[in-house]
Amino acid sequence: MPPANLQHHQTIRDQLISAISDAERYFGQSFTMPEIRYDLRGQTAGLALLREWVIRLNAEILFREPENFIAEVPKHEMAHLITHKMFGQVRPHGKEWKLVMSEVMQLPPKTTHRFEVTKTRQERTFPYSCQCEGKNKVHQLGIRRHYKVLRKQANYLCTRCKAPLISQP
Ligand SMILES: [Zn+2]
Ligand SMILES: [Zn+2]
């Protein structure tokens, strides 16, 4: 059972029910209610487990900003489930997911939850290159790895060409 308060839980269920009935009307088939878990931690507001048909939500963020959370997160995650069921393995926020958001649910297909802003800021990356050709050449290292390289405590290798990654200016 959710640690989230019951009223929030019911509102979230209502959001999902409305998303499901939109999708049923649009695709002409029925979808079951996913299991909702409130066990997500850290900076991520929501996560859809596609094959398990589960939506994991972050109760901490829900408590902090219930209105924004309820308006944005449940349907965003529901759209991931519907997209997976209808289109199979596609890019998480690709054109199929955008179609489900905008055409099916009449929502702006925003690709990040507002709550994830702090996360992307913390997870700044630094460009590195290897010996591969073209696009594969560019790698992004997180800040922790980047500083290890700067301090000469570690070297990282490209998994394809096995060359050491060199920091790009
Ligand atoms: Zn998403
Ligand atoms: Zn390479």
- Does the residue 109 lie in any domain? yes
Distance CA 148, CA 133 (A): 26
Residues 135 and 77 in one domain: no
CA dihedral 133, 136, 142, 145 (to 10 degrees): -50
Residues with CB under 5 A from ligand 2 (ion): 130, 132, 158, 160-161
Among candidate residues 35, 60, 65, 77, the one labeled active-site is 77
Q: How confident is the model at residue 115 (pLDDT cuts 50, 70, 90)?
A: low
Residues 159 and 76 in one domain: no
Residues 112 and 129 in one domain: no
User: What one-character DSSP code corresponds to residue 115?
Assistant: G
What spacing in Å lies between the alpha carbon of 51 and ligand 1's midpoint? 15
Residues 128 and 114 in one domain: no
72 is catalytic: no
The count of domains in the chain is 2
What spacing in Å lies between the alpha carbon of 131 and ligand 2's midpoint? 5
Cα 118 to chain center, whole Å? 14
CATH number at residue 46: 3.30.2010
What spacing in Å lies between the alpha carbon of 159 and ligand 2's midpoint? 7
- Does the residue 1 lie in any domain? no
The whole domain housing 73 covers 6-118
* Model confidence pLDDT, tens digit, residues 33-92: 999 999 998 888 999 999 999 999 999 889 888 888 999 999 999 999 999 999 999 988
Cα 90 to chain center, whole Å? 13
User: Taking residues 6-25, what's their average pLDDT?
Assistant: 95
Residues 33 and 94 in one domain: yes
Residues 153 and 139 in one domain: yes
CA quadruple 94, 82, 76, 73: dihedral positive or negative?
Answer: negative
Residues 76 and 114 in one domain: yes
Q: Against a cut of 0.75, is the pTM above it?
A: no
